[in-house]
Amino acid sequence: MASIQDKDTWSGRFNEPVAELVKRYTASVDFDRKLALFDIRGSLAHAQMLASCGIIAAQDLDDIRRGLAVIENEVVDGTFEWSLDLEDVHLNIEKRLTMLVGDAGKRLHTGRSRNDQVATDVRLYLRSAIDDMLVLIGNMQGALLDLAQQHTHTIMPGFTHLQVAQPISFAHHLMAYFEMLKRDAERLHDCRSRVNRLPLGAAALAGTSYPIKREMVAELLGFEGVCENSLDAVSDRDFAIEFTSAAALIMMHLSRFSEELILWMSPRVGFIDIADRFCTGSSIMPQKKNPDVPELVRGKTGRVFGHLMGLLTLMKGQPLAYNKDNQEDKEPLFDTVETLTQTLRIYADMVGGIKVKPEAMRAAALQGYATATDLADYLVKKGLPFRDAHEAVALAVRYAEQRGCDLADIELAELQRFSADIADDVYQVLSLEGSLASRNHIGGTAPNQVEAAIARARVHLLK
Ligand code: ARG
């Protein structure tokens, strides 16, 4: 019995020690030790509040600070001895603190439960991860802008159904991803404000009988406010789900971009080359250079989607308030943060290393009658109803197909067989440059519009 008392913080009412298997099954220290520094920060704020409210003595606060400073160093330099017997990060740190400073260590947990403690730690962790991620998204957007800036006049085919549709600039295509990432960053910002609420003070579930000051702890930890209901404070994991959902959207965007990079790099398409440092060779085929990084990004998107589903399912059947189920929130959350952080980090660099092949893009844009819509619009401007113009151009395309040439290669007299309204000025309209220049409105692919979009984007990034 005595030995159980020594080991376990809560074993006073137990008649037998917890089975080894159960200990290993229920312990979380192997993964929640990642929260150690946040746990220490939370404890420092809690202790400061306890002292300021006269719940612990000033001397206790001094001792706690001294002990936690030692622990922080041990955690940072890797000498802290984690023990599975002590279950989780919270009890490991508390036990060590008591070893270092005696009774003050045992007073730290006054008016607090691991339930509000862990919720606080996870929120502090996630807030910091979101801040890192916002910087990384900004870097990736900056890399997109730098590349786009050089290619407002680089013409490629725009696709629908993966069929050549209309000519666009490569810059315009890249700027579509800038917009996606802009929304992604907005979502993270928005999510951050709900992450940034303090659970501490909720204690186990009902609040505490000590005269605490939750607002003070919130302020010390930089939270925007307190969680207003103690039951909700300890049991809410919406904030983690919301973050993971925003993360899943980011990965989805990066996965789409990856798919395009892979296609563009395929020798069949040949629009771009990805710097060698992001590719690998084949162990058997000497000629190969494979786009491993974008492929892995596409693959890793699956695990983040999975984490989102895992977290939703983790919560769906839980009655109020805290249940041990919640311990399972950490690994999916940590893995989501890590996957996303690494992916964003690698991506900014990879975008910077893209080598564009404008001739291949141009050659592709010249196939597939990409300016057919321009011809129809030209006829409409001459007075033809759009449907009739569409029909006339369809016949012209069929004719060009039979001749195996482009619309722009057909002589004027021949073109006029499809509509008497066609005049000499049609060739400007049928050119790739003319097609781009004509889409001259906000959101269009005209080079001056895309340049303006890039300029606006730069201003936005500086905000
Ligand atoms: N390791 C636990 C978790 O991650 C901490 C909270 C434990 N609370 C409890 N009542 N057992 O959720």
Mean pLDDT in residue range 67-79: 98
pLDDT tens for 306-337 read 999 999 999 999 999 999 999 999 999 999 99
Residue whose CB lies within 8 A of the most ligand 1 atoms, among 86, 109, 327, for a mutation test = 327
* 68, 97 Cβ separation under 8 angstroms: yes
Mean pLDDT in residue range 348-358: 96
CA–CA gap between residue 397 and residue 380 (Å, rounded): 17
pLDDT tens for 12-66 read 888 898 899 999 999 999 999 999 999 999 999 999 999 999 999 999 999 999 9
* 351, 148 Cβ separation under 8 angstroms: no
Does pLDDT of 263 surpass 70?
Answer: yes
Does pLDDT of 9 surpass 80?
Answer: no
At 7 the pLDDT is 55
Q: Kindly report each contact of residues 99-105 with a partner whose C-beta sits within 8 Å and lies 24 or more positions away, as own/partner.
A: 100/66, 100/67, 100/70, 100/71, 101/63, 101/64, 101/66, 101/67, 102/63, 103/60, 104/56, 104/59, 104/60, 104/61, 104/63, 104/64, 104/67, 105/63, 105/64, 105/67
* Ligand 1 pocket check for 115: Cβ under 6 Å: yes
Residue whose CB lies within 8 A of the most ligand 1 atoms, among 324, 325, 328, 329, for a mutation test = 324
User: What residue owns the CA closest to ligand 1's atom 10?
Assistant: 115
226 strand-pairing partners: 198
Mean pLDDT in residue range 363-371: 92
pLDDT band at 368 (very low <50, low <70, confident <90, very high): confident
pLDDT band at 3 (very low <50, low <70, confident <90, very high): very low
Average pLDDT value for the chain: 95
At 243 the pLDDT is 98
Instruction: Give residue 51 CA to ligand 1 midpoint distance, Å.
Output: 25
Cis peptide upstream of residue 321 (ω within 30 degrees of 0): yes
Give percent of the chain above pLDDT 90: 92
Instruction: Give residue 204 CA to ligand 1 midpoint distance, Å.
Output: 10
Closest CA to 100 of 57, 61, 70, 56: 70
* 273, 358 Cβ separation under 8 angstroms: no
* CB count in 10 Å sphere of residue 335: 18
Does pLDDT of 229 surpass 50?
Answer: yes
At 375 the pLDDT is 94
* 218, 171 Cβ separation under 8 angstroms: no
Does pLDDT of 168 surpass 50?
Answer: yes
User: What residue owns the CA closest to ligand 1's atom 3?
Assistant: 327
* Ligand 1 pocket check for 121: Cβ under 6 Å: no
Q: Which residues are catalytic?
A: 161, 282
Separate counts of helices (H) and strands (E) for the chain: 21, 6
At 388 the pLDDT is 95
Give percent of the chain above pLDDT 70: 98
CA–CA gap between residue 351 and residue 294 (Å, rounded): 11
* Ligand 1 pocket check for 92: Cβ under 6 Å: no
pTM to 2 decimal places: 0.94
Instruction: Give residue 118 CA to ligand 1 midpoint distance, Å.
Output: 7
At 2 the pLDDT is 36
Which burial class, exposed, middle or buried, applies to 146 when counting CB atoms under 10 A from its CB (0-12, 13-18, 19+)?
Answer: middle
pLDDT tens for 171-193 read 999 999 999 999 999 999 999 99
157 strand-pairing partners: 167
pLDDT tens for 32-41 read 999 999 999 9
Closest CA to 85 of 77, 97, 101, 96: 96
Domains belonging to the chain, first-starting first, are 18-110 (1.10.275.10), 115-363 (1.20.200.10), 368-462 (1.10.40.30)
Q: Which helix (H) or strand (E) holds 183?
A: helix 170-195
